[in-house]
Chains A and B, each alone.
Chain A
Amino acid sequence: MRCFLMYVTASAMCVTCAAQESSVEKLLEQSEPAIQTWIGKVSDALNQSDPKNNIVAQKVAANLNEAFADKHEIVKQVAIFAAGPDEQQPLTALAVLQLLNLPPNIVIETLAPYLNADNIKLRSFVLDWFQNHDNGGSDESPLQPVNYADYADYVRKRLNRNEDIPNGFVEYLFERSPGRALLAFNRADRRGETVDRLQEMRRELEQRGNIGKLPQPKAGVGQSDIFLAEHMISNAIWFKKHHFDHQFQDALPAAKQQLSKLSEQQQWWVRLYVAEIMRRYREFRQTEVLEKLSHDSNAVVSKSAKSAID
């Protein structure tokens, strides 16, 4: 039985790798010479040693922006440029993208599928943009803003359209900041209950005259449970991180209890949060929870749980 399970897992991983690789190859095949020429011009301007030429680069970037209405296509072409032959192309592409100053939602929508790309230059370029954008990570300062709001918007839009969220993007969010990732998904993944309420409101409105039948705001039990759990767990992590050992030991049992509860949740992203916290912090690990999550139906959850066990 064990051998059989291992075989299935290995097969599934291979399929994922193949799909990812082909999508990168597919991207690189979509090079548009006209836009690439413009990107090359911006790059040439950036590569001039005279700092004044940065103004030239800005002007060329502005011209590129004006020349093509499809901003997603521009971002895609910059990503293709990043994977080019020169060693500096990922960083040059990053500079070009920053000069273009496009709305973050366009960049996120275009680049999120490539956060775990096999092509190292493409992955480096995409990763740098996201890390610079959200300003999060293990070195985040309480004095600096961290932006996961744009990610929550992206997740909400994908889920509202019944579209999958790229695995690489999910892994990036939870590895970088599991608590913020949980809150972002908690905010974004509400399509079902929202549609029910909107349709109830529409029915009420259509029966004009039935004043007073509008549903009162609900407490949103599941959502607030997750909200509270994240706070309790983050609080315990904060004690640990700042070496308040006594307070950490006091907070740990309740935090572990919350993790155990969350591991039973229906939403895969809640279980991923549990796996990621246990992967990061040994003190929070619970063998039976990790064992269960390592066989989770969601590949990202099981991957994270397995790495915690290993």
Chain B
Amino acid sequence: MVLTKNSELSLFFDHDKETPVPLEAVGTTTLPLPFVNDTVTVWVEWTSTTHSSANVNLFEVGNPSAIDSVRFHSFESLIIAFGGNTQNPADTNGDGSIGDAIDSFGNREGLFDIAQFMYDTGWDVLAFDEEDVDASDDIPYNEVIKARQQRFVQKHAIIGYSQGGGAAHDLIERLWNDNDIITDIGVMLDAVDHDGAFAENDWPDVAFYLLSIYQTNSFLRGGDIDNFEVLPGATLEEINTTTDPGWNHTLSHSQIDDDINVGSLIIARLNQLLLER
């Protein structure tokens, strides 16, 4: 069997692109694939500088009818998600979701549930431990830089809960101050100062749209951001679930990230503002 592909795609036998899949002279059809036990793994890279979609088709040699086809598109947006203190971005219980239960009382890694939902609906989501924001390998920062500068990603969101909200704040500021990159949408969910225990209620220098949702029932909490800091053209949307009408006024710090209405609003804003996956 062979694969055919569009010119936007390159095929490899390994994830680090050491071994390209050999092509016929035409350059769009592979040589017969080396199946072992009816299996072969092929890695696909989008190599075009323009955003579009392209197919990889599987054929029997000599038969013009495709057996199967996979459609690829380049990501035009990126979502970076930071959980709260000690929350693990891995799928710790093997249920296929990075949002897992934290305790036996129904408390969950709500921010990662949101991240998983966005991933499951086709968005490019990278989830991190909040400590990753200033770790030596600097992955969240570098992923945004690479996305914007090398993958031509048009929009990005940075979302976080609790100390992860503080991490989101810090990353938004750093991207602007060090690299002139404006974050399209930031979400600070009951944000606590990264590496601290008090509310992170500082406007992160520059952001196009910032959604801040917080409660005031718990000692650990987010807080009111100074509206005067918001520059013309930017938007700050703030919700105090403890006092604003229409919200569950009893939400605590550990519950707010699991609240369905809070999660729905975050998901809605990400869809509205990122536009394209």
Contacts and interface: CB of A to CB of B under 8 A. Distances in A.
B180 A219 contact: yes
Nearest to B201: A103
Interface residues of A, number: 26
A185 B36 CA distance: 63
Interface string B212-252: 00000000000000001101111000000000000000000
Given A198-B182, A205-B273, A217 B155 contact: no
A194 B273 contact: no
Contact of A216 (B148, B184, B205, B232): B148
B275 A198 contact: no
A249 to B, nearest CB: 32
A197 B149 CA distance: 17
B180 A218 contact: yes
B208 interface: yes
A191 B233 CA distance: 11
Contacts of B182: 194, 197-198, 201, 217
User: Max chain A CB contacts within 10 Å: which of B148, B149, B177, B233?
Assistant: B233
Contacts of A216: 148-149
A202 B229 CA distance: 18
Nearest to A224: B180
A211 interface: yes
A85 interface: no
A156 B273 contact: no
A199 B206 CA distance: 12
Contacts of A202: 208, 233
Q: Is the interface of B mostly helix, strand, loop or mixed?
A: loop
A146 interface: no
Given A187-B177, A198-B208, A220-B180, A211 B275 contact: yes
A195 interface: yes
Contacts of B269: none
B276 interface: yes
A212 B154 contact: yes
Nearest to A203: B233
B93 interface: no
B154 A214 contact: yes
A212 B180 CA distance: 19
B180 A195 contact: no
Nearest to B206: A194
B276 A199 contact: no
A15 B148 CA distance: 51
B231 A160 contact: yes
Nearest to B50: A212
A211 B154 contact: yes
A191 B154 contact: no
A185 to B, nearest CB: 13
Contacts of A160: 228-229, 231
B205 A156 contact: yes
Interface in B195-212: 202, 205-206, 208
Contacts of B51: 211-212
Contacts of A197: 182, 233
Contacts of B148: 216-217
Interface of A: 153, 156-157, 160-161, 187, 191, 194-195, 197-202, 205, 208, 211-212, 214, 216-220, 223
25 contacts: A157-B228, A157-B229, A160-B228, A161-B228, A194-B206, A195-B231, A195-B232, A195-B233, A197-B233, A198-B182, A198-B208, A198-B231, A198-B234, A199-B233, A201-B184, A201-B233, A211-B51, A211-B76, A211-B276, A212-B76, A214-B154, A216-B149, A217-B148, A217-B180, A219-B180
Given A194-B182, A198-B231, A199-B232, 12 more contacts: A187-B177, A195-B231, A197-B182, A198-B182, A199-B233, A201-B233, A202-B208, A211-B276, A212-B154, A217-B149, A217-B179, A220-B180
